Amino acid sequence: MAQKNYPYKVSASIITYNQVEYIKKAIEGALKQHVDFPYEIIIGDDCSTDGTREILLDYKQKYPDLIKLNLQNEHDDEGIAGRRNNITNIRSARGKYIAFLDGDDYWISKDKLQRQADFMDGHPKYSFCCHNAWEVKNGSYQKPVSLKYQKLRKDNSFSLNLLAKKKFHIPSVSLFMRTALLKNLPDWFRKVYTADLALQFIAAKQGPCKYFNDIWGAHRIHERNISKEYFFGKNYFKVLKNDEEIYHQQFPITRKEFLNIRSEFNLIESTTQFKRNKYFKALGCLVKSIYYDKRALGYAFWKIAARIHQKFTTIDPPASM
C-alpha cells in the first residue's frame, strides 16, 4: 500500500465550548511544543457564548499559519452534544497523527508531541499511544490519573482485548493516534456518548496501544466537565445503556468492560452514601456493585491499598500552573 503524503506530522485537535477561563492555557500548551516537524493546531468551537470564540479569533490572528478554526454556527440537535465539533476536527486533520485535547485540559510537557511522534514513527504496528496526567481540582494538582497502569506489563502496551476487559482509564488529554484509522468513522460514532473510549476501540482494533507513565498533561476536574455531567448525573444509566448496546454490537468483548463500569460506579456511590451516614443506601450500592462484578470487594481493597501507596509515594507536582 502506498504511503500517503501528509503536509504535517501532527494535528493537535482542541475542542471547546464555553471554556473562556481555561481555553488560553490549552492553546498555549499546544503552541509551546518543541518539535522538529511541521504541525497544525485545529480548534473546534461548538457555538460558545461566553467569550471563548473571541479568544480563538485573537489567537488565529496572531498565528494564522499554525492555527485553523472550525467554528460551528449552530448546535447539532440530532446528535450528542459537541459530537459534530469532534468529527469536524478529525475530518479536517492533515497530520499523519492526531493528538486530542479538550479545551479545559492542557499539556504540561513541551516535548509531548515529539516523544509520541517518535515512538509511533519507530513502531508502525501500534495504532495509538497515551500517557499519564495530573488531575487538577480547584487550581491544585491532586494526583496522577493512571497510577494503576504501572502493573500493565513489562512493555506497558495493551491490545483491544485488554482495553475492553481491564479497568483502564486513559486520559483524553494523552491520546495520540494515527489519523488514517479515524478518517472513516462509523455512523454509530455519532450516537455514542463516550467518544474518547469509542476512538480507543476503533484504533485498538487495528493494533496495540503504548502507555507512557510520564506525566505530560493535566486533566481538570470541575463542575462543568462533560464526563461528570454524563456519568455522575441523573441520566447516567440511560447513557450507560445506550453505549452498552452500541459497543456490544460493534465490539462484543466489551461486555465485561461495562459490567466493570457499572460495578465501579455503584462502589463509588456506596462510599458517598456512607460518608453521608446513609448506611442502608451505601449497603444497597455495595450489593449492586458485587452483583455486576464479584470482584468489587477486591476493588475496594485495591483502592485502599492504592491510597496508602500514594500517601507514601512522592511525586512532586509542577511548581506552577
Domain boundaries, the chain: 8-228, 251-312
pTM (predicted TM-score): 0.80
Query: Is the CB of residue 290 less than 8 Å from the CB of residue 297?
Result: yes
Mean of all residue pLDDT scores within the chain: 83
Looking at residue 167, what is its pLDDT? 54
Per-residue pLDDT band at 61 (split at 50, 70, 90): very high
Query: How far, in Å, CA of 187 to CA of 176, rounded?
Result: 22
Looking at residue 89, what is its pLDDT? 96
Looking at residue 99, what is its pLDDT? 98
pLDDT (tens digit, 9 = 90+) per residue, 24-42? 999 999 999 999 999 999 9
In DSSP terms, 132 is beta-bridged to 215
Q: Is the pLDDT of residue 265 over 50?
A: yes
Per-residue pLDDT band at 18 (split at 50, 70, 90): very high
What is the CATH class of 8-228? alpha beta
Q: Strands 128-137 and 176-178: what pairing?
A: antiparallel
In terms of pLDDT, which residue wins out, 121 or 281? Answer: 121
Residue 62 phi, psi dihedral angles, 5° rounding: -75, -35
